[in-house]
Amino acid sequence: MTSPTSAPTLYRATYLHTPRNPFTHPDALDAQSDGGLLVQDGVIRAAGPFADIRAAHPDAPVTDLRGGLLLPGFIDTHVHYPQVRVIGGLGLPLLDWLDQCALPEEARMADLAYARGVARDFIGGLIGAGTTTALVFGSHFAGAVDAFFEEATRTGLRAVTGLVVSDRLLRGELHTTPQRAYDEGRALIERWHGAGRNLYAVTPRFSLSASEGILDACAALMRDFPGVRFTSHVNENTREIQTVRDLFPGARDYLDTYERAGLVGRHSVLAHNVHPTDRELSVMAAHRCTAAHCPCSNSALGSGFFPLRRHLDAGVHVSLGSDVGGGTGFSLLKEGLQAHFMQNLMPGGVPLSPAHLLYLATLAGAEALDLPHTGSFEPGRAFDAVHLNPAPGTPLDAVFRHAASPERALAAAFATGTPADVARVWIGGDTVLGS
């Protein structure tokens, strides 16, 4: 751990970050081809051209990271802990994939020893991909959620997660009751919310599997513990949406099932939203909640094309999620590329620049989770960072060595970068991967 009086370190690197939102600010990307970041006690104290930072801090020891790219740590706003071992169930639509791939594996999380192994695999995968903060869909079993928080604490990951609750239409062993959902949620919140870097997220799986009683229990937790986050799924798949319509005949639409319970707000992150109505988009914007876009999952499960243009026009905040294991891996570089592809291919898609992709993979997540100390390299923020340094002889290394600008190198990182290119990862100034 970094002590409160540690000496500063000056990191010298080609770095890029988006201190602003490129969807609303034209010059949002800050790219330094020879940059300096002065870090003390895990916090960025100064940032800019290396020569300027060096002149102001002539005695700080320098860590030379030139040759690669230094980016803010990635922020994954939708990813399922119990699904890491079932990545790759391709070719099934959502409800069949849940029945055949995801839910049998999620039932195994009742076994605490099994859950501990999954927590290690999962968090290792996240950090190995350069993810430093994640909003994680937890397990239906409280013991497995404890195991997750323990592993997050051990590794240093910034984790936001909670008990997943449902009381119908899954499998019996994954069902709970409203009272138990409240009681177990309360105990987990008291143990983990605000402990170290951990935060709690109230998590009904989706309205299809959650009665009004369960949603009310979730709302009670949100009321009793202000500051906990909320996450669920919405509008992912047309068959799912029709089923929710049938289950909630009094609701105006899918979002309304959450809205009526008081679950839509500034701290709500709803995954997918591939098929929203205009009313839902305007309500999401008014409540400043986030849509977590998961492009690899939407492609793998054939869920559809995310209407990014309609979200932006309505003023809905959008962030990025890998949605492992419906998604195909932990890399937010890959998610950025897939988002780019899908917007390119769909009528009325939004052309996404490297700055947009970087923003979606970093600051957008910090904004979604209301974590203003993460997401960029602005002074005052935590030093959460990923150093991409491809092995000599790889195509990405060739592009990096010949790139005309840092922005071109960033585009190549999204186009062809993988976790194999992640050389080092820091969270709050602590090295959590590499050396």
Ligand X SMILES: O=c1[nH]c(=O)c2nc[nH]c2[nH]1
Task: Give the interface with ligand X as residue ranges (CB under 6 A).
Answer: 80, 94, 98, 102, 205-206, 233, 236, 297, 323, 326
Closest alpha carbon to 351 in 364, 342, 360: 342
236 contact choice in ligand X, Zn ion, none (CB below 5 to 8 Å, kind-dependent)? ligand X
CB of 276 to ligand X, least distance (A): 15
102 contact choice in Zn ion, ligand X, none (CB below 5 to 8 Å, kind-dependent)? ligand X
Task: Please provide the distance, in angstroms rounded to a whole number, between the alpha carbons at the two ends of the chain.
Answer: 15
Q: With contacts defined by CB under 5 A, name the span among 20-28, 94-102, 155-163, 263-271 that binds Zn ion.
A: 263-271
CB of 337 to Zn ion, least distance (A): 20
Please, which residue, 140 or 158, has the CB nearer to ligand X?
A: 140
361 contact choice in ligand X, Zn ion, none (CB below 5 to 8 Å, kind-dependent)? none
365 contact choice in Zn ion, ligand X, none (CB below 5 to 8 Å, kind-dependent)? none
Is residue 367 helix, strand or coil? helix
DSSP track, 37-55: EEEETTEEEEEEEHHHHHH
Strands annotated E in 162-226:
164-165, 199-204
**Rounded to an integer, what is the distance from CA 34 to the centroid of its chain?**
29
Task: Determine whether 238 is exposed, middle or buried from the number of CB atoms within 10 Å of its CB (0-12, 13-18, 19+).
Answer: middle
Please, which residue, 99 or 224, has the CB nearer to ligand X?
A: 99
Comparing every residue's Cβ against ligand X, the nearest one is 326
Please, which residue, 137 or 426, has the CB nearer to ligand X?
A: 137
The string over 282-312, giving b where at least 16 C-beta atoms fall within 10 Å of a residue's C-beta and e elsewhere, is: ebbeebbbbbbbbbbbbbbbebbbbbbebbe
CB of 237 to ligand X, least distance (A): 8
Closest alpha carbon to 206 in 162, 160, 255: 255
Which 323-362 residues touch Zn ion, going by CB under 5 A?
A: 323
Is residue 356 helix, strand or coil? helix
205 contact choice in Zn ion, ligand X, none (CB below 5 to 8 Å, kind-dependent)? ligand X
Closest alpha carbon to 113 in 142, 86, 143, 85: 143
Please, which residue, 236 or 259, has the CB nearer to ligand X?
A: 236
Please, which residue, 331 or 389, has the CB nearer to Zn ion?
A: 331
CB of 233 to ligand X, least distance (A): 4
Where along the sequence are the contacts to Zn ion (CB under 5 A)?
Answer: 271, 323
